[in-house]
Amino acid sequence: MGREVDLHAPELARYEFVNALNRLVVAKAFPSDRIQQAWNDILILPINYHALTNAPRIIEISLQLKRQSAYDGAYLALAESLNAELYTLDGPLYRNAIGHAFKVQLLQ
């Protein structure tokens, strides 16, 4: 039997969802007439979204990382503030973060 987990993400995750949909439509890998349904499906995901409130820590983290991405820093700062592990599909983020002792798991 699986265990229940709470899902958390920075508010910017919604933008990233839209950006991913946009890339798929531009690449003609997703039909534009299904965007609304896809967005509705995303909205019902039980994710707790968090406003970006700790810009200094996000920047501090991003400066440690090779890619120096505020996006990566936001996810890592949120996980850190929740004392939680970050689960990601992003291999470079994973490799970068574990090199700095962040709690990160790579989903495959």
DSSP code of residue 85: P
Domain boundaries, the chain: 1-51, 54-108
Please give the distance of CA 22 from its chain centroid, rounded to a whole number: 17
Q: What is the pLDDT of residue 70?
A: 94
Distance separating alpha carbons of residues 96 and 28, to the nearest angstrom: 32
Could you give the 3-state DSSP secondary structure of residue 17?
helix
Overall size of the chain counted in residues: 108
- How many CA within 13 A on the CB side of residue 69? 14
Could you give the 3-state DSSP secondary structure of residue 3?
coil
| Residuewise pLDDT in 10s, the chain (108 residues) | 567 888 999 999 999 999 999 999 999 999 999 999 999 999 999 999 999 999 999 999 999 998 889 999 999 999 999 999 999 999 999 999 998 999 999 998
Distance separating alpha carbons of residues 42 and 89, to the nearest angstrom: 17
Q: What is the pLDDT of residue 16?
A: 93
Distance separating alpha carbons of residues 69 and 58, to the nearest angstrom: 9
Report pTM: 0.86
